[in-house]
Amino acid sequence: MKQSTFNNKYLPYVLLVPTFFILVVFLFYPAVETFRLSLFKIHPWTGAEKFAGLYNFIKIFTNGDYLKSFILSAYFAIVVIIAGLFFSLLIAILLNQKIKGMRFYRTFLIWPYALSPAIAGALFNFLFNPANGVLCYFTGFRTWLTDEKTAIIVVIIAAVWKNLGYNIIFYLTALRNVPASALESASIDGAGPVKRFIYITVAFLSPTTFFLFVMNTIYAYFASFGLIDVLTQGGPAGSTRVLIYHLYKDFFVHSKIGYAAAESLVLFSLVVGVTVLQFRTAGKKVHYQ
Amino acid sequence: MKKSKIIVIAVLMTIILPFAVFAAGSADVDVDESATVSIEFWHAMSGARVDLIQGIVDKFMAENPNVEVDVQYTGSYNDTLNKVKSAYKAGNAPDIFHSYEIGTLGLINSGIISPLDVIAKKYDREIPWDDFFTPVQSYYKYQGDHYSMPFNSSTPLIFYNKSFFEKAGLDVNNPPKTYEDIRAAAVKLQAAGYKTPVTWNLHSWYFEQMICLQDEPFVNDKNGRSGELPTEVVFNGKAGQNVLDWWVGMEKDGLFLDVGPGWSNHRAAFGAGEVAIVMSSSSDVNTLTAALAEKGWEMGTGYIPRPEGAKGGVAIGGGSLWMTNNHSAEEELAALKLITFISEDESQIAWHKGTGYFPVRKTAMDQLKTEGWFNENPNYLTAFNQLLDSPETLNTSGGLLGIFPEARELIQSAIQEMYAGKPVKQALDEAAVKANASIAEWNEVIQ
């Protein structure tokens, strides 16, 4: 088949203009601006700027609350990623069976993903809020959201639950693509179901798992905001104040624009760093067909 | 750069304008009062209050057909302030916006507003401040000038379930007045089977008010009103400790239910009969009366509690209306007229009846009394009396602090630490240290 060619040298650039326009206005310019602002002290109202060098970075990294939030976020991300991937793979396997009414179950198990974080938060609030939460009533335990030890657990459960649908869709598709021939030949070679799962299925799933690993990292660091805002507002006593929530407070409530810019750069570098690390290490073990 | 130009103009305007006014005497500003003009008004009142405000503004427009007002609900106080900030930087700030009371010192120093009294003088429009309740107008007065127009005003109140009081053998017409009274009532209620009889939401506002009740300041430099920017908080003194020793002590003893932050949980617990005593905003009178009536219970209200013998009073809470600078004379005058209109009796009475916030003027109050409104709604009177019983001091005018929103966060976090076992004094001192560090930074940036 003959491929059509365009001789106009500039045409590709013209076609790229709309995309670049959007990228520049909504991505590159804000990113550069954030970088610049992180080096200034900024008047909260007029925006008047005073160069401050690394002042903002030094301040946030000598702030005990911020460091606490840093560790909390890492812990939160690790638990959310591991629990999220584990449960979604488990459910995806169950959903991959041939039983009656499968479509029905599938739809309902993917449903949580269609909810906005604020609505998901409201649902969990309905279950756990100390005044009239349904589960507080049934468990006789009131302080789910007002005790430092349990509040973070509720937030983690909510965050995992909220993202299950997304992970399940990807795992389900990946499971469908595991070639039956590979599984059959393994069983002819005498591999039992467990061995088949570990050596064949998991290997075929590795690109998906890797992809979800990266996406869930981003989710845990950035998208947890809505849930936390509705459920705990970062409390009790900062025990659920992850980095993104800290950043929100510093910018939108405390009007510390310089700090907020520095914090968002930290968050940005953190997620980029973790992703690069994943590509360098786990990425090499991923088996692509 | 364009932005720096705007800032320079803004600074020049704020410096020159007042002089221009004083130099010119009055009313010499060349302004065409009948010119068609459109102004923007951003507020932070949600729900049914959106329509209520629109209704007041519609009346204003009917009386002033040359003025077109675009009213917008712009989210919470915080959202509204953030939108005003961005709009100001982009050069299209609303003429009038709504802020919470704790934003006052920040706004005074923001460089983006025109003080209300200065604008009123500029156009020779007198605002009859004598007709405003003293605690209401003194909050928004700084160094002799009123900076904004008091709008939605409230104080905290104690709400109690009379039916439960009766069952516990308490005097239904004599609400608890002191810390000890509340505790004693709670113990009796608990004995009568109400497991955790007292609650209120985790909010620093109550803490601040209960410091006012002891006639103590919240920050230094005359509670932030000396003209100098305050440099230190003093909420960790004896008065603050008194409040929290009692409050957290009740939580420790299982008399107080911790319902966390936000404004819905404590209302829900009270409405469901989970608790018998709550503290909440006086603007909740409507909601809570209705919630209890639904279950066949009767509700009473009382002053917020104080330690035995404390001589202070409450400070006004709520919000006020501000004018931004850099508008044409026609717009400024129209905005001034609208702000004044909203503060007048007719608007205030409609606002009070629809929301439960105080009317800000004495004449409006008198009119409500003559109407017999308080005979039908005695609980509204409690809030008024509590406010009018308050002596006028720098402390009961309310503390002013640039980083007030952050101070609130710190206090709320400290209270949660106390619930978890940290000693009151230690947690308060730590919060004060953090607040002072932020104050130092804020004072440096703002100047």
* B5-53 confidence digits (pLDDT tens): 555 555 545 555 444 444 444 455 678 888 899 999 999 999 889 999 9
User: Exposed, middle or buried by CB within 10 Å (0-12, 13-18, 19+), for B317?
Assistant: buried
pLDDT of residue B67: 95
Phi/psi of residue A224, each to 5°? -80, -5
Phi/psi of residue B33, each to 5°? -70, -25
Amino acid at site B425: K
Q: Low-confidence residues of chain B, pLDDT below 50? A: 1, 12, 17-26
* CA gap B300, B237 in Å, rounded: 33
* CA gap A171, A89 in Å, rounded: 6
Per DSSP bridges, beta strands B156-161 and B299-302 are antiparallel
Per DSSP bridges, beta strands B96-100 and B37-43 are parallel
Residues facing residue B67 across a β-bridge? B37
B chain contacts of residue A131, beta-carbon cutoff 8 Å: 199, 257, 259, 264-266, 268-269, 272, 274
**Both tokens of residue A70?**
């840093």
Say how many residues make up chain A.
289
pLDDT mean over A72-95: 94
Q: Best residue in B199, B288, B445, B447 to probe A by mutation, most A CBs within 10 Å?
A: B445
pLDDT of residue B109: 92
A chain contacts of residue B88, beta-carbon cutoff 8 Å: 45-46
**Both tokens of residue B73?**
């609900």
CB B68 within 8 A of CB B38: yes
To which H or E segment does residue B435 belong?
A: helix B424-446
A chain contacts of residue B10, beta-carbon cutoff 8 Å: 46
pLDDT of residue A248: 94
Residues 250-279 of B with CB under 8 A from A: 257-262, 264-266, 268-269, 272, 274
CA distance B78 to chain A (A): 6
pLDDT of residue B26: 44
Which residue among B110, B414, B416 sits closest to A45, beta carbon to beta carbon? B110
Task: List the one residue out of B97, B92, B90, B105 whose CA is nearest residue B76.
Answer: B97
pLDDT mean over A240-256: 93
Residues facing residue B299 across a β-bridge? B161
The pTM of this model reads 0.89
Q: Which CATH architecture has domain A57-285?
A: Orthogonal Bundle (1.10)
Which residue among A47, A235, A252 sits closest to B3, beta carbon to beta carbon? A47
Query: Three-state DSSP class for B38?
Result: strand
B chain contacts of residue A249, beta-carbon cutoff 8 Å: 409
pLDDT of residue A1: 56
DSSP for A108-159 reads HHHGGGGS-HHHHHHHHHHHH-TTT-HHHHHHS--TTTTSHHHHHHHHHHHH
Which domains are delineated in chain B? 2-154+317-371 (3.40.190.10), 156-313+402-446 (3.40.190.10)
* CA gap A71, A65 in Å, rounded: 10
**What residues contact residue B324 under an 8 Å CB cut-off, 6+ apart?**
B84, B88, B93, B94, B95, B96, B97, B112, B113, B114
Residues 203-222 of A with CB under 8 A from B: none
**Both tokens of residue A200?**
């064949």
Taking CA atoms, B237 is separated from A57, B208, B441, in Å, by: 33, 12, 23
Q: Domain locations in chain A?
A: 57-285
Contact B445 A46 (CB under 8 A): no
